[in-house]
Amino acid sequence: MNWRHFIILLQKEFLLEFRQRYAISGIVLYVFSMIFVVYIASAKADISPKIWNVLFWLVVLFASINAVVKSFVQESGARQLYYYQLAEPVMLLLSKIVYNTLLLMVLSCLSFVTYSVVAGNPVKDAGLFWLTLLLGSLGFSIAFTFISSIAAKANNSATLMAILSFPVILPILLTLTNLSKFALGLMPPLATYDRDIINLLAIDGILVTLTFVLFPFIWKD
């Protein structure tokens, strides 16, 4: 474990993103367009908190998958090989997961702000909702980064990314919508959300462990 490598690789991710500003702008635009499409397609009807919740997480899900898919696809095989020579592959993965978590946090906050301007803000427990957003970004980032490292090796990576990750992401998504139902005050008064948070952290824990055990078998060609 060489943490200096990790810091440098993380800096590299930020630098790369800064140099290719059009890519991150594209994702931001994607979020804006999607929110407007979702709102207009629901015939500008009064969106009940229940529907608000579902649509919001769909927007975050699709924004996340599009933001993360490029993390392994954008860099050519030769350049990746170069990285693997210089640094521990696991550190490369860790830097990408951390970077994607930060990116998704920014994106989901942005989605939330835009979405609440357009469709209203029914959130009752703001603290819990922000916590849900953070936990969601973490879970999405781990699962999508790992799947994108597999999908990047194949010829049809965009399709594979979707079909490989949707079933895997479902337990996380269900727990997140459940948690945000608490934040929206849609749950019965005596129900508690401790178990949902524990479940979410447990799933994240399983995924992160597996990711680090399995990644060495992915990058070697």
Partner 1 sequence: MWWKTLSVVLVLYALSIGLLIPLKPGVVRVSPETAATGQALSLQVYGYNSFFSKSEPGQIRVWLEYDSSRATAAQTIKVLNDTTLEASFQLPPYLPKGEKSTLLTAIVDHPADGVSLLPNAIKLIQDTAFLKSGATVSSMVSDSAWTLQPIDNLHVIKDFSFPYRNVIYESIRNTYYHVPMWFVLMFLFIASVWYSIRYLGKPDPDFDRKAAGYAEAGLLFGFLGLFTGMVWANYAWGKPWSNDIKQLMTAVALLIYLAYFILRRSFDEPEKGARLAAVYNIFAFASLIPLLYIVPRMFASLHPGATGNPAFGSEDLDNTMRAVFYPSILGWTLLGFWIASLRIRYQRLHDRSHGLD
The CB-of-44 to partner 1 minimum distance in angstroms stands at 28
Give the residue with the Cβ less far from partner 1, 60 or 151: 151
Among 110, 94, 171, which residue's Cα sits nearest to residue 139?
Answer: 171
Which region, left, alpha or beta, applies to residue 81 given φ > 0 means left and ψ of -120 to 50 means alpha?
alpha
Give the residue with the Cβ less far from partner 1, 85 or 156: 156
Give the residue with the Cβ less far from partner 1, 107 or 200: 200
Non-local (6+) Cβ contacts of 209 within 8 A are none
The CB-of-19 to partner 1 minimum distance in angstroms stands at 30
Give the residue with the Cβ less far from partner 1, 102 or 174: 174
List interacting residues with partner 1 (CB under 8 A): 146, 150, 153-156, 160, 163-164, 166-168, 170-171, 174-175, 178, 195-196, 199, 202-203, 206-207, 210, 214, 217-218, 221
* CA dist list (Å): 192 to 125, 178, 182, 198: 13, 11, 8, 12
Query: Cβ(143)–Cβ(86) under 8 Å?
Result: no
The CB-of-134 to partner 1 minimum distance in angstroms stands at 20
Calculate helix-pair angle for 126-151, 157-183, nearest 10 degrees: 170
What is the Rg, in whole angstroms, of the alpha carbon atoms belonging to the chain?
Answer: 18
The CB-of-54 to partner 1 minimum distance in angstroms stands at 15
Query: Cβ(151)–Cβ(157) under 8 Å?
Result: yes
Give the residue with the Cβ less far from partner 1, 117 or 202: 202
The CB-of-197 to partner 1 minimum distance in angstroms stands at 12
